[in-house]
C-alpha cells in the first residue's frame, strides 16, 4: 500500500513510527556529534584522462557514530538539512577543506593537487549569511580560492530564488562553481545561461552504462558537446572500469572521478597520490 492518505495513515503503521523515531534519534545525535568530534572527511581523487594524474579531490563527509558505526552521508545529510544542523556542519566541512588546501599549498607548492571540491547543500545556498561565512573562513584559513570549488546541485539552484545571486557573490570571491549530479534533476540547458557554472559533474547513472550504445552513453556524449561549446569543464563521476574510462576519453572527457582511480581516502593517503607532472 502507498502512503497516499498521508499523515493519518502513517500514524497507524508501526514501521513508519519506528522510522520516524529513528530519524528523531538521529537528529538528536547529530547535534551532539559535531561537539563530540564524530565527523571526519575523506578525499576522493579527481584525475585527468587518460593518464590518471590527480588534478584535485572531492571532500566527502563521514560520521562515525558511537553505536551505529559509520553512518553514510545519504542518510544523515537529509536529516541535517531538515533540522538545520547542516549550516554548522557544512561550515565545518568547508573549514576542513580550506585548512587542508592551505596546508598542501604550503608543503607541496605547485605539486599540490589542483582543486578541492566541497559539497554545498540546498539549505546552505539558500541561507543569506552563507557567502559572508564562506568569506570569513577564507580569511581565517588563508586558503587560496583558486584551489577550491563548490559543488551545488541543480535542484538547489532551482529551488532558491536567490541562488544565482549567491553564486555570483561566491564567484566574486574567486571561487569556482560546479553543478553536481548533472542530468538527474529537472534541469534545462537554459540554466547554464543564467547560472555562473564552471564545471558540470555528470552523474554516475549516465556514466555506468554497460555499452557504448545505451541511453546513458548518448547523454554523456551530448553533455561533452555542449560543455565544450559553453567553455565549461565536465567531470565524469562514478567511473569504475577501464572500459568506461576509455569510452569517456574517446568521447572527449578530460576529467573523471571514481573507484577506478581511487576511493574516498584519508588526507594522508591522498597525499601519496599527488603527481607533480602534467600541471603546465
Q: Which residues bind ligand C2E (CB under 6 A)?
A: 44, 60-61, 72-74, 77, 90, 93, 119, 121, 180-181, 204, 238-240, 257-259, 264
Least distance from C-beta 277 to ligand C2E, angstroms?
Answer: 24
Query: How many CB atoms are located within 10 Å of the residue 64 CB?
Result: 14
In whole angstroms, what is the distance from residue 277 CA to residue 146 CA? 19
- CB nearer ligand C2E, residue 128 or residue 231: 128
Residue 74 near which of ligand C2E, Ca ion, none (CB within 5-8 Å, type-dependent): ligand C2E
180 binds Ca ion (CB under 5 A): yes
154 binds Ca ion (CB under 5 A): no
Encoded one letter per residue, x for contact with Ca ion by CB under 5 A and - for no contact, window 233-262 reads: ----x-------------------------
In whole angstroms, what is the distance from residue 194 CA to residue 119 CA? 21
Least distance from C-beta 276 to ligand C2E, angstroms?
Answer: 24
Least distance from C-beta 58 to Ca ion, angstroms?
Answer: 6
φ, ψ dihedrals at 32, nearest 5°:
-80, -15
- CB nearer ligand C2E, residue 70 or residue 193: 70
Residue 49 near which of Ca ion, ligand C2E, none (CB within 5-8 Å, type-dependent): none
29 binds Ca ion (CB under 5 A): no
Least distance from C-beta 13 to ligand C2E, angstroms?
Answer: 28
Residue 154 near which of ligand C2E, Ca ion, none (CB within 5-8 Å, type-dependent): none
The x, y and z cell numbers of residue 88, run together, are 554548522
Q: Given the rule CB under 5 A, which residues bind Ca ion? A: 119, 151, 180-181, 237
Amino acid at each position: 500500500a502507498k502512503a497516499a492518505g498521508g499523515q493519518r495513515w502513517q500514524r497507524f503503521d508501526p514501521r513508519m513510527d519506528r522510522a520516524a523515531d529513528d530519524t528523531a534519534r538521529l537528529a538528536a545525535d547529530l547535534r551532539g556529534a559535531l561537539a563530540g568530534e564524530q565527523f571526519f572527511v575523506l578525499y576522493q581523487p579527481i584525475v585527468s584522462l587518460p593518464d590518471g594524474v590527480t588534478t584535485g579531490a572531492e571532500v566527502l563527509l563521514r560520521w562515525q557514530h558511537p553505536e551505529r558505526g559509520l553512518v553514510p552521508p545519504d542518510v544523515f545529510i537529509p536529516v541535517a538539512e531538515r533540522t538545520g544542523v547542516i549550516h554548522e556542519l557544512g561550515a565545518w566541512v568547508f573549514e576542513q577543506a580550506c585548512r587542508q588546501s592551505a596546508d598542501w599549498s604550503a608543503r607541496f607548492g605547485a605539486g599540490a593537487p589542483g582543486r578541492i571540491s566541497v559539497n554545498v547543500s540546498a539549505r546552505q545556498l539558500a541561507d543569506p549569511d552563507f557567502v559572508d561565512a564562506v568569506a570569513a573562513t577564507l580569511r581565517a584559513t588563508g586558503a587560496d580560492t583558486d584551489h577550491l570549488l563548490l559543488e551545488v546541485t541543480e535542484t538547489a539552484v532551482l529551488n532558491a530564488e536567490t541562488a544565482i545571486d549567491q553564486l555570483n557573490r561566491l564567484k566574486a570571491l574567486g571561487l569556482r562553481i560546479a553543478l553536481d549530479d548533472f542530468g538527474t534533476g529537472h534541469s534545462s540547458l537554459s540554466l547554464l545561461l543564467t547560472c555562473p557554472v564552471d564545471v558540470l559533474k555528470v552523474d554516475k547513472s549516465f556514466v555506468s552504462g554497460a555499452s557504448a550504445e545505451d541511453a546513458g552513453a548518448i547523454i554523456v556524449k551530448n553533455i561533452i558537446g555542449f560543455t565544450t561549446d559553453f567553455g565549461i569543464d565536465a567531470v565524469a563521476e562514478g567511473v569504475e572500469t577501464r572500459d568506461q574510462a576509455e569510452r569517456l576519453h574517446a568521447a572527449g572527457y578530460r576529467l573523471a572521478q571514481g573507484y577506478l582511480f581511487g576511493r574516498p581516502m584519508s588526507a594522508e593517503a591522498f597525499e601519496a597520490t599527488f603527481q607533480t607532472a602534467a600541471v603546465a
